Amino acid sequence: MAISTEHMRAIDVRGGTGPATALFVNEEVPKPTPGPHECLVRVRAFGLNRGDIVQRQGLYPMPPTAPKTLGLEFSGVVVSVGEEAYGWWGVDAEVFGLVYGGAYAEYVVAHKNLLIAKPATLSWAMAGGMCESWFTALQALYLVGCYDFSSTRSIVWNAGASTISICGIQLSRALGVKVFATTRQDSKRDFCTEQLGCTGAINTRALPETTTWVDEIRRMNGGEGIDLIIDFIGGSCFSSLLDLAARDGRIVNLGLLGGPTTEGNAVDISPFVMKRLRYEGSTLRSRDIEYQAKVRALFEATTLPKLLEGEFKHHIEKTFQWVDIVSAHELMESNQAIGKIVCVIDW
């Protein structure tokens, strides 16, 4: 990606890092120029992700080639095409896709392999907030977590009403396995069972003092451990994950909402040996173009058709105008949202 002498408007952070109130529309951001394998896209909508908050706070280890502007997903219209991208995309193509950064802006450059043609039935807002969550759930489930679906009978998604888990729960149910979820609010627990069809879900804050969330999930699963656990919490529940996992179980960590370190006494790691467990962490943003393109192809083949047919649902909590970015970030940080938060740019 090159930088032209032209300028555009983009969301910036006063002082480089800070709280949500430090976000503002900067009208003097250099407009990017696509490289040989890239397209320049005029943005119509972009989705918010937890990684955006961490980056805004200055705590995200950025990919070396990523622009400082926030934003990992978008929808829009192609306005120019790099020489190696001709034959893939043309000017005026309506697309949505994934980027390493820069989507909180009027224009963004995207690699040709990470773009998807936007179906006419998808709104700009729906398409603009779709890729990051579905791609992350797909790679956690298919490329990291499950090497053998025939032996997987049960799956737990922690933070069950988060956007990634909402996607992952639907993907898991399509496999025909028992799917459980943890939440921290009754409304989110009910959403997981009533709207997403989970076999069972719990509010970890509303359990009897004598019952742990591991006890409750195991009870719901007929006293058995869980074959695959997708976790976003990290250190604070590490020991509980080892306890809950079934023999030959897999645990995939996608986040550290509970911190990077374990709490209390030393951790008993014997379950790794006695249960033959596998624990693996993963992030999507740190993956190379080839890996992300593989996930994009998986999404187009297995997931997008079901979204268009209505078998899968893409849940949007609220849509904001992009100039209201402060309110959008504050809503995400409140942990009250169920589903995606999207910003639109009218033009």
Same domain, 221 and 201: yes
Rounded to two decimals, the pTM is: 0.94
Tell me: do 154 and 44 sit in the same domain. no
Cα 99 from Cα 230, distance rounded (Å) = 24
Clarify whether residues 238 and 327 are in a common domain: no
Would residue 52 count as lying in a domain?
yes
Query: Are residues 333 and 257 located together in one domain of the fold?
Result: no
26 and 126 co-located in one domain = yes
Give yes or no: residues 59 and 96 share one domain. yes
Residues 124, 186 within the same domain: no
Query: Do 260 and 124 share a structural domain?
Result: no
The answer to whether residues 116 and 143 belong to one domain is no
Query: Do residue 213 and residue 183 come from a single domain?
Result: yes
261 and 168 inside one domain? yes
Domain that holds residue 239: 134-281
**Within a domain: 302:** no
The pLDDT assigned to 1 comes to 56
Give me the CATH number covering residue 339.
Answer: 3.90.180.10
SS (H, E, C) the chain: CEEEEEEEEEEEECCCCCCHHHEEEEEEEEEEECCCCEEEEEEEEEECCHHHHHHHCCCCCCCCCCCCCCCCEEEEEEEEECCCCCCCCCCCCEEEEECCCCCCECEEEEEHHHEEECCCCCCHHHHHCCHHHHHHHHHHHHHHHCCCHHHCCEEEECCCCCHHHHHHHHHHHCCCCEEEEEECCHHHHHHHHHCCCCCEEEECCCCCCCCCHHHHHHHHCCCCCEEEEEECCCHHHHHHHHHHEEEEEEEEECCCCCCCCCCCCCCCCHHHHHCCCEEEECCCCCCCHHHHHHHHHHHHHHCHHHHHHCCCCCCEEEEEEHHHHHHHHHHHHHCCCCCEEEEECCC
The CATH code of the domain that includes 255 is 3.40.50.720
Total domain count, the chain: 2
Domain identity same for 169 and 200: yes
Asked, for residue 306, whether it belongs to a domain, the answer is: no
Q: What is the residue-level pLDDT of the chain in tens, covering all 347 positions?
A: 555 569 999 999 999 999 999 999 999 999 999 999 999 999 999 999 999 999 999 998 888 889 999 999 999 999 999 999 998 999 999 999 999 999 999 999 999 999 999 999 999 999 999 999 999 999 999 999 875 677 789 999 999 999 999 999 999 999 999 999 999 999 999 999 999 999 999 999 999 999 999 999 999 999 999 999 999 988 889 999 999 999 999 999 998 888 888 877 688 899 999 999 999 999 999 999 999 999 999 999 999 999 999 999 999 999 999 999 999 999 999 999 999 999 999 99
Quote the pLDDT of residue 177.
Answer: 94
**299 inside domain:** no
